[in-house]
Amino acid sequence: MTPSILAGLVGAALVGLGLYGLILHPHPLRKLLAFNLIGSGVFLVFGIVARRGAAAGFPFDPIPQAMIITGIVVAFAASALAVALILRLSAKSGRVTLDPDAWAKQNGADAK
Amino acid sequence: MSFLDIGLALLVVLVAVWTIAAQDLFASAVGYVAYGLLLALVWIRLYAPDVALTEAAVGSGVTGVLLIAASKRLGALKIAALEAPPSLAFKLLTGVLALLVASALAAAILMLPDPPPSLAPEAAVAAEGPGAGLGNPITAVLISYRSFDTMLEKVVLILAVLGVWSVGADQAWGGAPAPLRRSKPYPAMVFLAQMLAPVGALIGIHVFWVGADAPGGAFQGGALLAAMWMVAMMARLRDPPRIDAQWLRLALVAGPAVFLVTGLAGVVMAGNFFAYPPGLAKPIILFIEAFMLMSIAVALPALVAGPPSGRSEQ
């Protein structure tokens, strides 16, 4: 097993961990954090594709690496948008949740 | 494979487990920052110093500030997240699903095709041909081989800024976002910002400048400049600017606009969209990157500062 395969397996483990957190955590910010964990795991898996594609005198394939750099920046932009939406939703609704049932319960209480 | 690789891999996975398992949101966010820095070391081991710089600056640093600031703002709303914890059966089911996905991914990694496919020869052509004179193949790929993607990525950043601004209340439009810190900062924080920000800004410009030939570039340098600005905002040396400020909007669009105009000029000058005239490629690429640096340095703090708050400045 080479260091790059090991890094790829770490990436696979991170995707699994992130998926677990994304499904189980009720808190939206924790979900976002878990989602970022999945993202970095995917980047790592892609990173070993870059490492294995070493050719033409480079110790890596520069094209997947450039795509990962683009990906990290776009992932941050999406996270920032998600944070803004979560904060606005919480301020507006008075509760920190993505659970649609919580909304139904609140509306039901308002109707009474 | 050395003990360093195994130790690093274990550490990354353990810190990732911590960010998922931590009870407290703040502890989880702090764990995520440490995780990002460790991940940057893994990237170094994969011969990817450019990715390592980006992961450390954007993936770990700026995302960490974003999450920590969000947890503080959520705490300031003084509403508790009340939700029933998931049942044990649901936890087990999720665990099995996560394990299956991770195993499938691991199996795919162990069965990758041999010999591996590679676009490295094309990147070499880009570094020697259209991106002539660039010693860093990653920069050559970003600005020459995949120039259109890189330009559109800046557009994505602007769209995200617009999205974040639009989330604010209607009557707050045009105003300034809430300060990154409500209370008076500690003197040590102010001192740190005064000492660190000028040095960090210089390092950011250096990272951008050497990016043509060595690891670095507009992304990494821009993220460093953005971080320095955010340090100044956290120490309340500067508050976030009003979102209708002309200079802010110009700086935001300057990067993709200059990139696009240069790309269109390529049709006339070099016979192709986003082609650079031979011999002038390096100065043109550095010219484009300088404006992209500015756009990134402005966009990242704008994304962290959030929508205009509508409250009068304190």
**Which residue of B lies nearest to A45 if distances are taken between CA atoms?**
B109
B123's tokens: 């990147």
Q: Determine which of A1, A32, A33, A96 to mutate to test the interface with B (most B C-beta atoms within 10 Å).
A: A33
B295's tokens: 């756009």
**Which residue of B lies nearest to A94 if distances are taken between CA atoms?**
B79
Does the beta-carbon distance from B47 to A51 stay under 8 Å? yes
Shared domain for B178 and B272, answered yes or no, is yes
Shared domain for B47 and B158, answered yes or no, is no
Shared domain for B158 and B307, answered yes or no, is yes
Name the residue among B222, B49, B211 with its Cα closest to residue A47.
B49
Shared domain for B260 and B179, answered yes or no, is yes
pLDDT for position B81: 59
Digit-coded pLDDT (tens) for B105-153: 999 988 887 777 777 777 777 766 655 567 778 887 887 778 888 888 8
**pLDDT higher for B205 or B148?**
B205
User: How many Cβ atoms are within 10 Å of A49's Cβ, its own excluded?
Assistant: 20
List chain A residues with pLDDT less than 50.
111-112
Does the beta-carbon distance from B58 to A4 stay under 8 Å? no
Asked whether residue B102 carries a pLDDT value surpassing 90, the answer given is yes
Chain B residues close to A54, C-beta within 8 Å: 47, 118, 120
Shared domain for B166 and B288, answered yes or no, is yes
Chain B residues close to A18, C-beta within 8 Å: 16, 20
Distance separating alpha carbons of residues B305 and B314, to the nearest angstrom:
16
Chain A residues close to B120, C-beta within 8 Å: 53-56, 58, 60-63
Shared domain for B246 and B214, answered yes or no, is yes
Q: Which of B42, B73, B145 sits opposite A63 (nearest CB)?
A: B145
pLDDT for position B175: 85
Domain count across chain B? 2
Shared domain for B96 and B141, answered yes or no, is no
User: How many Cβ atoms are within 10 Å of B103's Cβ, its own excluded?
Assistant: 13
Q: Which of B117, B138, B164 is at the close of a domain? A: B117
Does the beta-carbon distance from B103 to A12 stay under 8 Å? yes
Å from B201 to nearest chain A CA?
A: 20
pLDDT for position B270: 74
Q: Which of B53, B84, B117 is at the close of a domain? A: B117
Average pLDDT over residues B80-88: 71
Å from B163 to nearest chain A CA?
A: 6
Does the beta-carbon distance from A60 to B48 stay under 8 Å? yes
B233's tokens: 């905002």
Q: Which of A24, A45, A86 sits opposite B94 (nearest CB)?
A: A24
Digit-coded pLDDT (tens) for B45-56: 888 888 999 999
Residue owning tokens 């970003």: B142
Chain B residues close to A62, C-beta within 8 Å: 120, 123, 127, 137-138, 140-141
Shared domain for B89 and B222, answered yes or no, is no
Shared domain for B75 and B202, answered yes or no, is no
- Are B43 and B59 contacting, i.e. CB atoms less than 8 angstroms apart? no
Shared domain for B84 and B180, answered yes or no, is no
A55's tokens: 């050719």
Domain annotation for chain A: domains and CATH numbers: 3-102 (1.10.287.3510)
Chain B residues close to A3, C-beta within 8 Å: 1-2, 5, 45-46
Q: Which of B65, B91, B117 is at the close of a domain? A: B117
Å from A107 to nearest chain B CA?
A: 17
Å from A55 to nearest chain B CA?
A: 6
Distance separating alpha carbons of residues B127 and B134, to the nearest angstrom:
6
Shared domain for B103 and B70, answered yes or no, is yes
Digit-coded pLDDT (tens) for B148-167: 888 888 999 999 999 999 99
Asked whether residue B293 carries a pLDDT value surpassing 60, the answer given is yes
Domain holding B16, by residue range, is: 1-117
Digit-coded pLDDT (tens) for B207-243: 998 887 888 888 889 999 999 999 999 888 888 888 8
Average pLDDT over residues B9-31: 91
Residue burial B228-257, b: 16+ Cβ < 10 Å; e: rest: bbbbbbbbbebbbbebeeeebeebbbbbbb
pLDDT for position B297: 93
Distance separating alpha carbons of residues A106 and B200, to the nearest angstrom:
48
Shared domain for B155 and B83, answered yes or no, is no
pLDDT for position B170: 82
Distance separating alpha carbons of residues B64 and A83, to the nearest angstrom:
12
The ipTM value here is 0.89
Average pLDDT over residues B25-48: 91
Q: Determine which of B60, B63, B99 to mutate to test the interface with A (most A C-beta atoms within 10 Å).
A: B63
